[in-house]
Amino acid sequence: MASEQPQKIAILSVYDKTGLLDLAKGLVKQNIRLLASGGTSKLIREAGFPVEDVSAITKAPEMLAGRVKTLHPAVHAGILARDLASDEKDLAEQNIDKVDYVICNLYPFKDTVAKINVTIPEAVEEIDIGGVTLIRAAAKNHTRVTILSDPNDYHDFLQELEKGEVPEKSKQLYALKAFTHTADYDSAISDFFRKKYAGDGLQQLPLRYGTNPHQKPASAYMTDRPLPFKALNGSPGYVNLLDALNAWNLVKELSEALDFPAAASFKHVSPAGAAIGVPLSDVEKKVYMVEDIEGLESSGLAQAYARARGADRMSSFGDVIALSHEVDVATAKIIGKEVSDGVVAPGFQPEALEILSKKKGGKYLVLQMDKAYTPPAQESRTIFGVNLTQHRNDATITPHNTFNSIIVPKESAPLPESALRDMTVATIALKFTQSNSVCYALNGQVIGLGAGQQSRIHCTRLAGDKADNWWMRFHSRALNVKWRKGAKRADKSNAIDLLCSGIVQDSGPEREDWEKNFEEAPQPFTQEERKAWLSKMGEVAVSSDAFFPFTDNVYRVARSGVKYIAAPVGSQNDQACFETAEKLGITFVEQHVRLFHH
């Protein structure tokens, strides 16, 4: 006669006792032996259901005020044992029975630490040891043991038992939930102690607030290593770090791709300008308001930032700056003159740091970045409580590997180095620009960038209008304006922007306020004057983060002196775009990687 199957065993140890009695009733109905700890055992017994204390199998009492209840070989060997002859032998020798079901949830650590002014001893008391061990052991052995960590699963579990056995798929899902439960618990504990013990900013850096002042608390942290930057001066905000980390990525890649010092001016998680240290002409120095900077000629980094800041001074107002090399005095002197929120770089010369540390009444943000830091391949973010994860955008953009597929003209000569340089600048800038995005570049710098537009043509127009504005600033009328004595740099930038954009009002208060910036107000440009001057702009490179869906984009870039287009292909209108580019004398180069950034 076949031997009788041993009675199945369930161990119960729960803080949240929701649904516990209904569960106990269902388990007893299935002739399952109940072993429970502490308050769990007491509640089941008082309800009249048969239950034994865990000590019935451990032969050891609960101790240390209940902190040790289930931590015993009789419990964990019973849970971890597999259906192997060697395991059966070990259990028999120690007179230990297998455990088939574990029902456990944890002390309310999150609720405790959410209280105002909670102390470390109070938090420590809510760190569950035995419960986590029960859950982890049962989840590890989930091919044999069923682990329930969520009271919401009791009903379905009991229905499965009534049908005979818990399905393998259910065991897997219960185990996944259990692993998630302990991971979330451990994360809450580490977060609490990181805030308490890593207050030196090495791994946890408190921020003033999140995206907006009412979004508190906010912090920056890493779980496995110190932060890859340190604040040498000032205190970063949430948006500051979004800008700084994106901008640092940009200049690091740009400098590595072109072997020049690189700079970026970032605002609202997109570059307002980016450039490499191509030498500045005397006219460019004047346009970018740096003709009085001592040491400019010998500093490629200073020239890079002059270009990055000077391309779109309106957008760069209040920027976060990223610089690829150690910041020298010349670069610091330019920054010192501008309205800016902060700078990130791999190092700072002592005198340069002294200059920067005086800005904003001593509160100017100066971040030193670990140049050797490489982020992990996988990145994640949380939106509306939903975790998203993806492989980091580690696409490499280089002049000769990225832009070697010329589509039109079919018999085109090799691209000049200046075009390869400018397409590289534009494309790397797009990699860190909110999509949709289109970028115009010339002379190793961004001259117009359209970001975050839902329509590709609106990006192209926005970027093209900025490029046109940039070029109008080189007109003799813009170069030779007579400023009112004491006019501030920001006022000059606003006034010249209105002039070069062609939107100076004919009369009224706005016109009067504009004229106050000058000793002698310049005459606004006529449409004919603008058209004539813009026709002189040429050799511009444009890059798009995705394909051009319609020919209107090609026609628009042609109006701003574009000679080279780099873009992914894949639109049903590709051929029309190629033909239009060729007709307009534009070289169209396939850029093989879509570069959306969100």
70 domain residue, yes or no = yes
Q: Which residues, 6 or more positions from 213, have their beta carbon under 8 angstroms from its beta carbon?
A: none
Q: Name the token pair of 325.
A: 């090399």
Q: Can you list the alpha helix ranges (DSSP code H) found in 70-203?
A: 73-80, 85-94, 109-113, 120-125, 130-140, 154-163, 168-197
Mean pLDDT of the chain: 93
Residue 97 predicted with pLDDT over 80: yes
In DSSP notation, 422-487 reads HHHHHHHHHHTSPSSEEEEEETTEEEEEEES-SSHHHHHHHHHHHHHHHHHTTSHHHHT-EEPTT-
Half-sphere exposure (CA, 13 Å, Cβ side) for 50? Answer: 8
Residue 453, CB-side half-sphere exposure with 13 Å CA sphere: 19
Q: Residue 364: inside a domain, yes or no?
A: yes
Higher pLDDT, 342 or 206: 342
Which candidate, 77, 132, 130, 115, places its Cα nearest to that of 99? 77
> Do 558 and 504 fall within a single domain?
no
Same domain, 278 and 234: yes
Q: Which residue has the tokens 């013990």?
A: 197
The pLDDT value given to residue 177: 96
* Longest Cα separation, the chain: 114
Q: Which of 8, 25, 140, 492 is catalytic?
A: 140
* Residue 114 domain boundaries: 9-196
pLDDT higher at 341 or 125: 341
Find the mean pLDDT for residues 161-180: 94
Q: Please choose, from the candidates 421, 429, 474, the residue with its C-alpha nearest in 3D space to the C-alpha of residue 448.
A: 429
- Name the domain boundary from 524, 558, 587: 524
Answer for the pair 587, 416: CB distance below 8 angstroms, yes or no: no
Whether residue 204 lies inside any domain: the answer is no
Bond before 217 cis per omega within 30 degrees: yes
CB neighbours (10 Å) of residue 585? 10
268, 286, 337, 492: which is the annotated catalytic residue? 268
* pLDDT above 60: residue 228: yes
The verdict on 17 and 111 lying in the same domain is: yes
Find the range with the poorest average confidence among 194-198, 316-320, 383-387, 453-457.
194-198
Q: CA 324, 330, 335 angle in degrees (round to 5)?
A: 75
Q: Would you state the pLDDT for residue 26?
A: 95
CATH number at residue 566: 3.40.140.20
Residue 522 pLDDT class (50, 70, 90 cuts): very high
Are 281 and 363 within one domain? yes
Q: Phi, psi (5° rounding) for residue 121?
A: -60, -40
Backbone angles phi, psi at 152, to 5 degrees: -65, -15
In angstroms, the CA 464 to CA 457 distance is: 10
User: What pLDDT score does 1 carry?
Assistant: 40
d(CA 196, CA 120) in angstroms, rounded, equals 8
331 and 297 assigned to the same domain: yes
Tokens matching residue 219: 């912090």
Task: List the structure tokens of 180.
Answer: 């998630």
**CATH number (domain holding residue 162):** 3.40.50.1380
Q: Residue 197 above 90 pLDDT?
A: no
Three-state secondary-structure class, residue 373? coil
Helix ranges (DSSP H) in 198-290:
238-258, 282-287
3-class DSSP state for residue 237?
coil
Last residue of a domain, one of 500, 524, 548: 524
Question: Minimum mean pLDDT among 189-198, 340-349, 354-363, 482-491: which range?
Answer: 189-198
Residue 3 has pLDDT above 80, yes or no: no
Per-residue pLDDT at 202 exceeds 80: no
Instruction: Assign 504 to helix, strand or coil.
Output: coil
CATH code for the domain in which residue 496 is found: 1.10.287.440
Place of tokens 């076949």: 2
What pLDDT, on the 0 to 100 scale, is given for residue 205? 86
Confidence (pLDDT) at 199: 57
Tell whether 250 and 297 lie within a shared domain.
yes
Residue 2 lies in a domain: no
Whether 270 maps to a domain, the answer reads: yes
Does residue 308 contact residue 330 with C-beta atoms inside 8 Å? no
CA angle 494, 500, 505 (to 5 degrees): 75
Determine the average pLDDT of the residues in 395-417: 94
Instruction: Answer yes or no: is 216 within a domain.
Output: no
Cα angle: 303, vertex 285, 295; to 5 degrees: 50
Task: Determine the residue type at 445.
Answer: Q
Question: How large is the angle between the packed helices 574-583 and 551-558, nearest 10 degrees?
Answer: 20
Give the residue-averaged pLDDT of 496-520. Answer: 94
Q: In sequence order, what are the residues at sequence separation of 6 or more whose Cβ sits closer than 8 angstroms to the Cβ of residue 239?
A: 211, 268, 269
- Domain check: are 401 and 354 in the same one? no
Distances in Å between the Cα of 449 and the Cα atoms of 104, 429, 436, 496 are 56, 9, 11, 19
Q: Say yes or no: 400 and 457 in one domain.
A: yes
100 lies in the same domain as 36: yes
Contact by Cβ (8 Å): 369, 375:
no
Is pLDDT of 323 > 60?
A: yes
- Looking at the structure, tell me whether residues 249 and 142 fall in a common domain: no
Q: Which of 321, 350, 369 is the last residue of a domain?
A: 369
Digit-coded pLDDT (tens) for 19-67: 999 999 999 999 999 999 888 999 999 999 999 988 888 887 777 776 7
Q: Which two tokens stand for residue 388?
A: 């998203």
Cis peptide before 375 (omega within 30 of 0): no
Pairing of strands 33-36, 52-53: parallel
Q: How do residues 261-309 score in pLDDT, each as one tens digit? A: 999 999 999 999 999 999 999 999 999 999 999 999 999 999 999 999 9
The answer to whether 312 touches 338, Cβ cutoff 8 Å, is no
Distance CA 432, CA 83 (A): 54
Same domain? For 32 and 157 the reply is yes
CB 334 within 8 A of CB 305: yes
- Mean pLDDT is lowest, of 57-66, 342-351, 442-451, 478-487, for 57-66
Across residues 322-342, what is the average pLDDT?
98
The tokens for 264 are: 């970026």
**Residues forming a β-bridge with 53:** 36
Query: Do 355 and 236 lie in a common domain?
Result: yes
Structural domain total, the chain: 4
Structure token digits, residue 347 = 């190092």
Cβ-proximal residues to 14 (8 Å cutoff; 6+ apart), any chain: 20, 40, 103, 104, 105, 151
* Sheet of strand 9-13, all strands in order from the earlier edge strand to the far edge: 52-53, 33-36, 9-13, 101-104, 146-148
Whether 508 has a pLDDT exceeding 60, the answer reads: yes
Residue 339 lies in a domain: yes
Residue with tokens 């989840």: 139
Does any domain span residue 210?
Answer: no
Once rounded to an integer, what is the mean pLDDT over residues 214-222? 89
Specify the pLDDT at position 127: 86
333 is known as an active-site residue:
no
pLDDT category of residue 2 using cuts at 50, 70 and 90: very low
| Structure-token pair, residue 398 | 């280089």
3-state DSSP assignment of residue 104: strand
Q: Is 211 left (phi over 0), alpha (psi -120 to 50) or beta?
A: alpha
**Range ranked top by mean pLDDT from 80-89, 203-212, 529-538:** 529-538
Share of the chain above pLDDT 70, in %: 98
Mean pLDDT of 570-583: 96
What pLDDT digit, counting tens, does each position of 342-395 carry? 999 999 999 999 999 999 999 999 999 999 999 999 999 999 999 899 999 999
Highest-scoring range by mean pLDDT, 95-104, 157-166, 202-211, 251-260: 251-260
Whole-angstrom distance, CA of residue 266 vs CA of residue 57: 65
- 222 falls in which pLDDT band (50, 70, 90)? confident
Q: How many CB atoms lie within 10 A of CB 379?
A: 12
Answer for the pair 273, 312: CB distance below 8 angstroms, yes or no: yes
Instruction: Please tell me the predicted confidence (pLDDT) of residue 200.
Output: 56
The Cα–Cα gap between 387 and 68 comes to: 35
Instruction: Respond yes or no: is residue 592 known to be catalytic.
Output: no
